[in-house]
Amino acid sequence: MLLTLLSILMVLSLSGIIVLNTYKRKERITGMSGMMIAMSIGMMSSIALGFQLGIVFDHDLAIPSIIAILFGLGVGYLTGKPISVLASLDGMLAGIMGGMMGAMLGSMLSFTYIMVLFIDIVFIFIFFVVLQLISSESVERKKTNKSGISIPFIAGIVTVAFGAVSVGLLLFNQYQDNRTTVVSSQNQEQSTVQENNGYQVISVDVKSNGFSQNNIVVKSGVPTKINFIKQTGYTCIKSIESSDLDIDVYLEKRDNFITLDDLKPGTYHFNCGMYMYYGTITVV
């Protein structure tokens, strides 16, 4: 969560830097460049902020969307204002779109180091490219080397290279963790056999595209435990809800046992918290 808060502070501060630089160089920026600057920073800042807020405000898509859209509107308007009304409008519309997409992405994927780092890297890269565009419109080119490549461009390339290595290392570590998880989950299954004695236990894998079983069949008159096994964080299925069974359970990684007693024969419906994936429990 600390990484998420630091990312939010970074988005706020770097967006402010772009706005200030646009105001300082407004007389040298052309209309087309101003539109591109406002659109780029308006969309990318609202995507990045919306994604981080979608993680912070778990189970709530409204608040992250509203905050991110308002922030994108403000950044897009302030960036484009010194250039033209058209640039402001372009930046504001991009901010609205980015805020909605970022909040949805953060809420669906939840917290993973890889995605937080990836979004930060993309935002920083866009920041440096926009900064380069602003400086290229200026008559003064004091910060260019002999080949004509500017410092913001070099910084952007270094950022992407560092990000690619970092994400690669995180993916490798996650792969190693998954291999370790298989062994630990096998040991955990052996230790929970006694605990589940007397219950019929049904295992359902929670995947990125839904449930491994959409129709779970259980016997009536026998105490039941359904284990929703969440193996990965790359899924929008963060909770299981059922109005028929009065269930609302947040899914942790790996085992999530839901105990159902005294079920009468019939069909009971359940769904994920975002109402995207559905399933049934048939008691016979």
What is the average per-residue pLDDT within 211-223? Answer: 86
93: left (phi over 0), alpha (psi -120 to 50) or beta: alpha
pTM: 0.62
Residue 116's pLDDT is what? 82
Q: Match domain 200-283 to its CATH number in 4.10.910.10, 1.20.1280.290, 2.60.40.420, 3.30.830.10.
A: 2.60.40.420
Whole-number Å distance between alpha carbons of 102 and 7: 14
- Please give the single-letter amino acid code of residue 150: S
Report whether pLDDT(82) > 70.
Answer: yes
pLDDT greater than 80 at residue 83: yes
Which distant-in-sequence residues (6+ apart) come within 8 Å of 54 by Cβ? 61, 64, 102, 103, 104, 105, 106, 107, 108
134-149 pLDDT, tens digit each? 887 654 444 444 555 5
Where along the chain do the CATH 2.60.40.420 domains lie?
Answer: 200-283
Q: How far is CA 185 from CA 230, 261, 265, in A?
A: 12, 26, 32
Q: Which pLDDT score, from 0 to 100, does residue 195 have?
A: 52
pLDDT in tens, 152-162: 556 556 666 66
pLDDT tier, 275 (very low <50, low <70, confident <90, very high otherwise): confident
Give the percent of the chain with pLDDT over 90: 25
57 CB-near residues (< 8 Å, 6+ apart): 63, 64, 107
Helix (H) or strand (E) holding 70: helix 62-80
Of residues 42 and 253, the one with the higher pLDDT is: 42
Average pLDDT over the chain, rounded to whole?
A: 79
**Nearest CA-CA partner of 120 in 132, 106, 108:** 106
Higher per-residue confidence, 208 vs 156: 208
Strands across the sheet containing 224-230: 210-211, 200-207, 224-230, 257-260
| Stronger pLDDT, 215 or 194, i.e. the higher one | 215
| pLDDT at residue 243 is higher than 60 | yes
| Per-residue confidence (pLDDT) for residue 46, from 0 to 100 | 94
48-68 average pLDDT score: 85
The pLDDT value given to residue 139: 47
Between 232 and 68, name the one with better pLDDT. Answer: 68
Which string of DSSP letters, residue by residue, matches 19-69? HHHHHHTGGG--HHHHHHHHHHHHHHHHHHHHHHHHHHSTT-SHHHHHHHH
Q: Is pLDDT at 33 greater than 80 in this prediction?
A: yes
